[in-house]
Amino acid sequence: MRRILAALLLLLGGGVAAAPVVVGDAIPASLTGSPGDAARGRAIVLDRQRGLCLLCHSGPFPKERFQGDLAPNLAGAGARLSEGQLRLRMVDGRQLNPDTIMPSYFSLDGLVRVGRAWQGRTVLTAEEIEDVVAFLAGLRD
């Protein structure tokens, strides 16, 4: 009986994305259970359509023109913040600063007037969040 119950729970759990667990000012565990790919993360950060990070941030990207100055420079982000701290800032920075202008890249809370194609979808997927976190964690100076 217990084994059947465990299998059932596993099955149910498999289809449902659990809300990431916040500890202090961080989400310590990977959203996917595995580490991200920093090269893919870099591409997302520099992409003006997907990440849009450089609208607000500048960073150690000498070849990129028109970088933002509305937010902290991303240089050294991986030295200032742990992976878990970076992850919470990517998932939903409103949990630290309710008035932040930074988009919540992995949250569906509090969204209004969402276009049909975007309903029920986060801006980035769990995999993409992990890729960006892996890239940011490597920005050491």
CA distance 11 to 27: 25
CA distance 77 to 71: 12
Task: Return the number of the residue (15 or 98) whose C-beta is nearest ligand HEC.
Answer: 98
In this structure, are residues 44 and 50 in contact, taking their beta carbons and an 8 Å threshold? yes
| Footprint (CB under 6 A) of ligand HEC, residues 72-111 | 72, 77, 80, 86, 89, 93, 97, 100-103, 105
Residue 140 sits in the site that holds ligand HEC (CB under 6 A): no
Binding mask 41-70 for ligand HEC (x = CB under 6 A): ----x-----xxx-xxx------------x
Smallest distance, ligand HEC to C-beta of residue 90, A: 6
Task: Return the number of the residue (102 or 126) whose C-beta is nearest ligand HEC.
Answer: 102
Task: Give the end-to-end CA distance of the chain in Å, rounded to a whole number.
Answer: 55
Quickly count: other Cβ atoms within 10 Å of residue 115's Cβ. Answer: 6
Residue by residue, DSSP assigns 5-22 as HHHHHHHHHHHS-PPPPP
Residue 136 sits in the site that holds ligand HEC (CB under 6 A): yes
CA distance 75 to 39: 16
Residues that bind ligand HEC (CB under 6 A): 45, 51-53, 55-57, 70-72, 77, 80, 86, 89, 93, 97, 100-103, 105, 132, 136
